[in-house]
Chain A
């Protein structure tokens, strides 16, 4: 007979975690150093905050632009062993996934299972949406077409797996 043991690491660690102290006092009083760094409240913080906000927005915009330019960057085309974009095939895959999703919607899955399915479909659907946007911006890219096709296929296969799940 197998020996008793927690069924996984999470279970094993749970009791250790519950034993952790919520509060650990620092070994020395930090207040004097903190107090010395406090700026008088009368000084307006509005301008720095707005500046930081503007800088953050600029950074996000720059980051997006860099990513986008990387995705779309032009240059000498290297031969890639990928199939050309087949929009009809993509549409068929998307439709197949939608039909399976509808079928699962009316099946007798437990609420917890439905929640897991929903959570993972969000991940897949966002990957599809992102790949689709990239392909729309660069319609001739066989790699982007492959990635989009793969994401659609993964969605169908995931839903097929869900359909095979034990119902108990």
Chain B
């Protein structure tokens, strides 16, 4: 390139990175239904104490245009015209919603960090991931290939992923987790009902079950490890035809046909079913099970 041409090129006012600043706001009701569609990059979703919806942040040009609007009870925001041929990972947005809002996030590829929510959250993605802290009333998360981490006493939690790992801490109430190959790792839980299913992943549970509650764990080829309070009373049905069963609890009876053992610990009261075709089942006494999500080590130290 000739020097004069080079000088001319350098002097042209063309930004090296076309980044658009986003700052949009509107009033909504405290329990508004908010739909967030097709965002990309990193999104922080924050529940706050104001009846307004705010989105701030920066978007590269190839992320497309932001649309934003709706009524007090139903608002919608999202991106259109995104260059689907490129990975837009440099987008960073923060979306603030009323704490008790009902929020739905659908996006093919987004990394979502959520906290402060107390309403309902639905998150459906192809390869995005979810990291949530707090206590929404309900959470439904579906991702094909991303990890899901939830820390907090969510009352009703539904997680479905194929290859992602699911890590839950301090969860409460009603729980359903399904994966294909991803592991299901749960700590500090206290649940009334939990159904954990995977095809080839491991299941590791550390927590308590309310009296009368149920815990069902099913994996085809992974191991199941249940760390339970020593004082727990539960009726057990354990099937591990190939891998066998090990227990720190005194189990009466022996596995019968197909390696199934049906017995009780303590005075019963809860119901635990664990099945693995190829893996092993381990029952471990965990005296220090701390189901307080606010306790140090309970939910602290999540990804930052």
Contact = CB atoms under 8 A, between A and B. Distances in A.
Contacts of B256: 75-78, 80
Given A116-B144, A166-B108, A168-B107, A75 B257 contact: yes
Contacts of B304: 5
Contact of B126 (A79, A157, A166): A166
Interface residues of A, number: 51
Given A2-B92, A70-B242, A78-B256, A116 B218 contact: no
Contacts, number: 157
A51 B241 CA distance: 32
Interface stretch (A41-49, A54-62, A91-99, A118-126): A118-126
B144 A117 contact: yes
Contacts of B180: 120, 123-124, 154, 158
B200 A8 contact: no
Given A2-B44, A127-B200, A161-B142, A143 B163 contact: no
Contacts of B223: none
A79 B220 contact: no
A166 B106 contact: yes
B258 A123 contact: no
Interface in B251-285: 253-262, 275, 277-278
A73 B240 CA distance: 12
B111 A73 contact: no
A113 B125 CA distance: 11
B142 A157 contact: no
Interface string A1-41: 11011011100000000000000000000000000000000
A143 B221 CA distance: 14
B74 interface: no
B214 interface: no
B199 A119 contact: no
B242 A123 contact: no
B59 to A, nearest CB: 13
Given A78-B255, A138-B258, A1 B57 contact: yes
Contact of A7 (B111, B144, B258): B111
A70 B277 contact: no
Nearest to B38: A168
Given A116-B144, A116-B163, A168-B108, A146 B257 contact: no
Nearest to A164: B124
A85 interface: no
Interface of A: 1-2, 4-5, 7-9, 67, 70-71, 73-81, 110, 112-113, 116-117, 119-120, 123-124, 127, 130-131, 134, 138, 141-144, 146-147, 150-151, 154, 157-158, 161-162, 164-168
Given A127-B199, A158-B180, 4 more contacts: A2-B57, A130-B278, A147-B220, A161-B142
Interface of B: 37-38, 41-42, 44, 56-57, 82, 84, 89, 92, 94, 106-108, 111, 113, 124-127, 129, 142, 144-145, 147, 160, 162-163, 178, 180-181, 197, 199-200, 218, 220-221, 237, 239, 241-242, 244, 253-262, 275, 277-278, 303-304
